[in-house]
Amino acid sequence: MAGRTITFFRGAWHEGNPPIMGPMHHAFWLASVVFDGARAFEGTTPDLDLHCARVVRSAHALGLAPMVTAPEIEELALEGVRRFEPGAALYIRPLFFAEDGWVAPDPASTAFALTIHEAPMPGPEGFTAGLSTRRRPLPGTAPVEAKASALYPNAGAALREAAARGFQNAVMLDPLGNVAEFATANLFVARGGVVETPVANGTFLDGITRRRVIALLRADGVEVVERTLSWDEVATADEVFSTGNYAKVVPVTQLEERALQPGPAFRRARELYWAFAHGGGRDR
């Protein structure tokens, strides 16, 4: 997936995939890793500050002791972006992990790394999705308050299941059977000119791009409702689209057997996001 890759670790930039973790490190065998993902594309780094702040919060939530501040991470990320060709499409991934501990990580052993790699932006062509049997965890059953690596094997299982059925992504439910999100992004639907998205209930990541798109649409006069959504309501919507850092705003072109077309709500959301990104990528 990755083209050229650089990683900042222990005070220096390294090319490629440097060995920074060993089998005795706590993170290697007990998954004490949190990360975040931001994007650089077309000369922009939208909401980079918010992604850097979230990885610090995630570290605290997992019991780590981050030694780098959000502004310091942002400054490092921008320095790393400048090491690539101007306008390159990049994935920016800061992470914290524990080197020591016994089941619980030792906060004093927290380490930091920042990886930036070439990753083309997916186009607006869209993707197919099916309903998964995998469900997002309840708060209290997993570290859902953090963007923790330990949460992602379940999403990976949903993707494997979807691929076996001929789909590119999966719709995951929460433990009560309501729609939560896609395996890799937040989920939106539109019907009758109203945009709806599952209300953040602690079972899935309330994404930075999700919140940004909600705010942009509302400021544009679009009614956006956050509420509990059933699978039947999603399956019969006029439009279904996703928001997430990796691809930003992308339509669903098939949901189970039903073909869908990119619609006006998706197109407006994508237009607004791109305008926001090229306007500086921060609130004013």
Does residue 257 share a domain with residue 212?
Answer: yes
Q: Which CATH number fits the domain that encloses residue 90?
A: 3.30.470.10
Smallest Cα–Cα separation from 255: which of 127, 123, 125, 156? 127
DSSP 197: E
Q: Tell me the residue range of the domain where 258 lies.
A: 127-278
The residue from 78, 101, 118 where one domain ends is: 118
248 in Cβ contact with 123 (< 8 Å): no
- Rounded Cα distance, 15 and 42, in Å: 23
Does residue 42 share a domain with residue 133?
Answer: no
**Tens-binned pLDDT, residue by residue, of the chain (284 aa):** 578 999 999 999 999 999 999 999 999 999 999 999 999 999 999 999 999 999 999 999 999 999 999 999 999 999 999 999 999 999 999 999 999 999 999 999 999 999 999 999 999 999 999 999 999 999 999 999 999 999 999 999 999 999 999 999 999 999 999 999 999 999 999 999 999 999 999 999 999 999 999 999 999 999 999 999 999 999 999 999 999 999 999 999 999 999 999 999 999 999 999 999 999 756 53
Task: Give the burial class of 21: count Cβ atoms within 10 A of its Cβ; 0-12 exposed, 13-18 middle, 19 or more buried.
Answer: middle
Does residue 86 share a domain with residue 170?
Answer: no
- Rounded Cα distance, 199 and 211, in Å: 11
The count of other CB atoms within 10 Å of the CB of residue 206 is 14
The residue from 99, 118, 137 where one domain ends is: 118
- Rounded Cα distance, 284 and 228, in Å: 31
Does residue 78 share a domain with residue 196?
Answer: no
Helix (H) or strand (E) holding 173: strand 169-173
Does residue 212 share a domain with residue 144?
Answer: yes
